[in-house]
């Protein structure tokens, strides 16, 4: 299902954008976070997505990548990217929703797939290697907050 037609996402804070709500270095919310919240409120009031959907070569490559990875993973993982779930905590459910890419029912966890373009792939890989080398996941939190908070 199209993200812009998915009524479970209208007005909800999603994992892919939650990093906008994390305070900046001075401890205050970024202007982009305030704008994001204002847009979610408008979506709740009007009952529809504010953004229109578009497709780019990068998005098409990402979709192809998801299919390829799903084929490699085998039967332990199920592609669930079209399913949006509200937050399990009833206090957050009206406001927070997300869509994992893969589910592993036997392992009781979900997986997030990223198909970055080359430059971001290279910088993210360097970040992960540095975090592993220093045994410090906080490096990912600092250098790639949008990816870090989406996986939480």
Kindly give the confidence (pLDDT) of every residue in the chain, 152 residues in length, as a single tens digit, with 9 standing for 90 and above. Answer: 555 566 677 788 877 787 788 777 676 777 888 888 899 888 888 888 888 766 677 777 777 777 787 788 777 778 887 788 887 788 877 778 877 777 877 777 667 777 777 788 889 999 999 999 999 988 988 888 877 766 55
The pLDDT value given to residue 130: 95
Contacts 24+ apart (CB under 8 A), 18-22: 18/149, 18/150, 19/145, 19/146, 19/148, 19/149, 19/150, 22/145, 22/149
The token pair at 26 is: 């001075």
pLDDT at 70: 77
- Dist CA 95 CA 9 (whole Å): 9
The model carries a pTM of 0.52
Only one residue has tokens 């908070």, namely: 149
Cα atoms found within 13 Å of the Cα of residue 14, Cβ hemisphere only = 20
Q: What is the 3-state secondary structure (H, E, C) of 33-56?
A: HHHHHHHHHHHHHHCCCCCCCCCC
pLDDT, residue 129, reads 94
CA dihedral (138, 144, 149, 152) in degrees, to 10, reads -60
């Amino acid at each position: 299902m199209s993200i812009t037609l998915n009524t479970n996402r209208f007005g909800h804070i999603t994992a892919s954008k939650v990093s906008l709500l994390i305070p900046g270095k001075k401890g205050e919310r970024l202007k982009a976070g305030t704008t994001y919240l204002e847009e979610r409120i408008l979506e709740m009031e009007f009952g529809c997505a504010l953004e229109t959907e578009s497709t780019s070569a990068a998005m098409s490559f990402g979709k192809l990548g998801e299919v390829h990875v799903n084929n490699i993973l085998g039967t332990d993982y199920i592609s669930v990217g079209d399913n949006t779930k509200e937050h399990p905590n009833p206090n957050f459910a009206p406001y927070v929703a997300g869509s994992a890419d893969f589910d592993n029912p036997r392992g009781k966890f979900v997986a997030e797939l990223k198909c970055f373009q080359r430059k971001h792939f290279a910088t993210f890989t360097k970040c992960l290697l540095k975090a592993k080398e220093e045994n410090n996941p906080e490096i990912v939190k600092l250098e790639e907050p949008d990816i870090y908070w989406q996986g939480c």
